[in-house]
Amino acid sequence: MPPNNSQGAYACKQGKVLETTVESTLKAKGFAVVMFRDWQRNPEAYSGDVLVKHCPYKNIYNHEGYSEFVLHSAAYHLGAIRIECKWQQSSGSVDEKFPCLYLNCIEAMPEKQVVIIVDGDGARSGAVSWLKDAVRDKKYTTESNQDKEIRVFSLTEFIQWANKTFR
**What is the per-residue pLDDT for 71?**
98
Low-confidence ranges of the chain (pLDDT < 50): 1
What does the alpha-carbon distance between residue 106 and residue 49 come to, in Å, rounded to a whole number? Answer: 25
Domains: count for the chain: 1
Whole-number Cα distances in Å, 85 to 3, 42, 44, 118: 24, 26, 26, 6
Question: In terms of Cα–Cα distance, which of 145, 68, 79 is closest to 108?
Answer: 145
**What is the per-residue pLDDT for 4?**
62
**What is the per-residue pLDDT for 10?**
53
Residue 1 lies in a domain: no
**What is the per-residue pLDDT for 76?**
93
Residue 31 lies in a domain: yes
**What is the per-residue pLDDT for 1?**
47
Is 69 in contact with 52 (CB distance < 8 Å)? yes
Does the model's pTM come out above 0.75?
yes
Whole-number Cα distances in Å, 46 to 23, 115, 121, 156: 16, 22, 36, 28
Residue 2 lies in a domain: no
Please provide residue 99's backbone torsions phi and psi, each rounded to the nearest 5 degrees.
Answer: -60, -40
**What is the per-residue pLDDT for 142?**
84
pLDDT digits (tens, 9 = 90+) for 36-58: 999 999 998 987 899 999 999 99
Tell me the three state secondary structure of residue 30.
coil
Look up the CATH number of the domain holding residue 42: 3.40.1350
Show the domain range for 39: 7-165
Where does residue 55 rank: exposed (0-12), middle (13-18), buried (19+ CB within 10 A)?
buried
Tell me the three state secondary structure of residue 142.
coil
**Contact partners, residue 43, CB within 8 Å, separation at least 6:** none
What does the alpha-carbon distance between residue 20 and residue 25 come to, in Å, rounded to a whole number? Answer: 8
Angle, vertex CA 16, rays to CA 13 and CA 18, nearest 5 = 120
